[in-house]
Amino acid sequence: MAVQASLQKLRPIWVERISRELAAGEGVRAGFEEQLQRFYTLLEQTVVTGDTAWLDPILYDWGHAPTESNLEQADYHVSFVLDRMISLTIDIAGDHLEDKDALELLAAIVPILAHSLGVVIRYEMETRVAHISKELGSVQEKLQVLDQNKSKFISVAAHELKTPLTLIEGYTSMMVDLVQNSEQASMKSYLSGVNTGILRLRGIIDDMIDVSLIDNHLLTLNIQPLWTSHLLNLIRNEFKKPIAERKQTLNVIDFEGSEMMIYGDSERLYQALHNVITNAIKYTPDKGTITIDGRLLPGFVEITIKDTGIGISPEEQTLIFDKFGQLGRADLHSSGKIKFKGGGPGLGLSITRGIIETHGGTIWVESAGYDEVKLPGSIFHILLPIRTEPTNPVMLKFFGNNEPQQTETETSGKENTPTNNSPS
């Protein structure tokens, strides 16, 4: 029997059997049978013409048919139906045709059915990828809104806290004046405790303001000539006391390029280095070593800060530069500024990255991993572009040539910042 005649003979049997086995329920059977009839007609056309393009429209419809709920599930619905359809077709041909006719028919249609399966899998995959991209887009939008809310909250909270803190600072300094001449030693020591608390609070509020300036691309730089060696000398002096307290060693190595004049905001760069070195002290046990070195690269000065501390796991190496990058390790929060593993609010490295990037530079960390016993250590790399004129890379990007002036209230007024930009 010719292949076409076999196909004609099998049509009603095929439609009834496939529908019975594969329709999801009575309710959908009529619609499903209609689809099967359409498929069978196109299959016949394909056999006659030898051109699989006849099947493309129905395969396209099937491949793009999955519903939202199907897409939520991991299994590939239509491909599964087509796969079963191929096995059932082989059974039906075997049951209802002579062996020779069955073989002839299957030799003609199995390659077509296999091709159809491949096409449907591709369409179904495309539909699924489009669905996932859409979902991802909406999750990203939600995350962006959350991040904006977080940023707004930080900004409002910091400004609200600043006013009462200024009042407390004022009254405390009056009290300090009052007890200055008194004999009450205990009162003086209580007031010094209050002062330390105020300074820490001021530091946290300043950090919160800096983070919100960076988040909103409002960090302005006061670009002046500067020398890296000068910043590193200030650092060496500033950290003498904490380094001695922790019995650590701080090596500051002179490197090619450290004496070169570059343009940048020395106060902000000092703040950035200060954060990284405070961390190096904090996350290195007593008697450890911190080494500051660097090198001159084409167009850049690289500064490296290496410690012999607990190191950072590969997963955390990028996260620590995000705000609150401490990853919820509340056990590490401490009141000691340089205490071993005394984690802070997790804003330091995010501000540091913001400052370096506003200068057109970049910062990253290298570490073999986190290990409190083996102490693999970490190396922070800071790459700063060598600018020969006082242009402000980010401000030019955002505001053209009309650089906005930083207002008094936005200036964080860091403690211990350098005031003199001349080389040492």
294 vs 343, beta carbon nearer ligand ADP: 343
What string of DSSP letters covers 367-390? ES---TTT---EEEEEEEE--SS-
CB of 333 to ligand ADP, least distance (A): 8
CB of 179 to ligand ADP, least distance (A): 33
**Binders of ligand ADP among 292-311, rule CB under 6 A?**
307, 309-310
Q: Which is nearer to ligand ADP, 90 or 327 (CB)?
A: 327
217 three-state secondary structure: coil
Q: Which CB, 17 or 282, lies closer to ligand ADP?
A: 282
Q: Are 79 and 124 in contact (CB under 8 A)?
A: yes
Identity (one letter) of the amino acid at 41? T
β-strands 300-307, 224-227 pairing: unpaired
> Helix, strand, or coil here: 250?
strand
Residue 166: CB minimum distance to ligand ADP, A: 24
Phi, psi of 230 (to 5 degrees): -65, -45
CB of residue 312 vs ligand ADP: minimum separation in angstroms? 5
Pick from 312, 363, 384, 394 the residue near ligand ADP by CB under 6 A. 312
301 or 347: whose CB is closer to ligand ADP? 347
DSSP letter, residue 291? E
Site for ligand ADP in 331-350 (CB under 6 A): 343-350
Q: 1 vs 204, which CB is nearer to ligand ADP?
A: 204
Give yes or no for residue 239 binding ligand ADP (CB under 6 A).
no
Q: Please enumerate in sequence order all residues whose Cβ is within 8 A of that of 359, keeping only pairs 6 or more positions apart, or say none.
A: 221, 264, 265, 268, 269, 384, 385, 393
**Residue from 326, 358, 392, 412 binding ligand ADP (CB under 6 A):** 326
Exposure string (b/e) for 171-188, b if CB count within 10 Å is 16 or more? eeeeeeeeeeeeeeeeee
Q: Which of 116, 266, 271, 378 binds ligand ADP (CB under 6 A)?
A: 378
Helix (H) or strand (E) holding 312: none
**Interface with ligand ADP by CB under 6 A: which range of 31-39, 154-162, 256-264, 275-283?**
275-283
CB nearer ligand ADP, residue 46 or residue 378: 378
Residue 263 is a binding residue for ligand ADP (CB under 6 A): no
Cα–Cα separations (whole angstroms), residue 117 to 65, 82, 164, 216, 262: 15, 6, 71, 51, 64
Residue pair 342/334 in contact by the 8 Å Cβ criterion? yes
Shortest distance, CB of residue 338 to ligand ADP, whole angstroms?
11
Segment near ligand ADP (CB under 6 A), from 67-75, 173-181, 279-287, 389-397? 279-287
Distance CA 22, CA 379 (A): 62
Q: Does 283 bind ligand ADP (CB under 6 A)?
A: yes
Give the footprint of ligand ADP on this chain (CB under 6 A): 275, 279-280, 283, 307, 309-310, 312, 320, 325-326, 343-350, 378
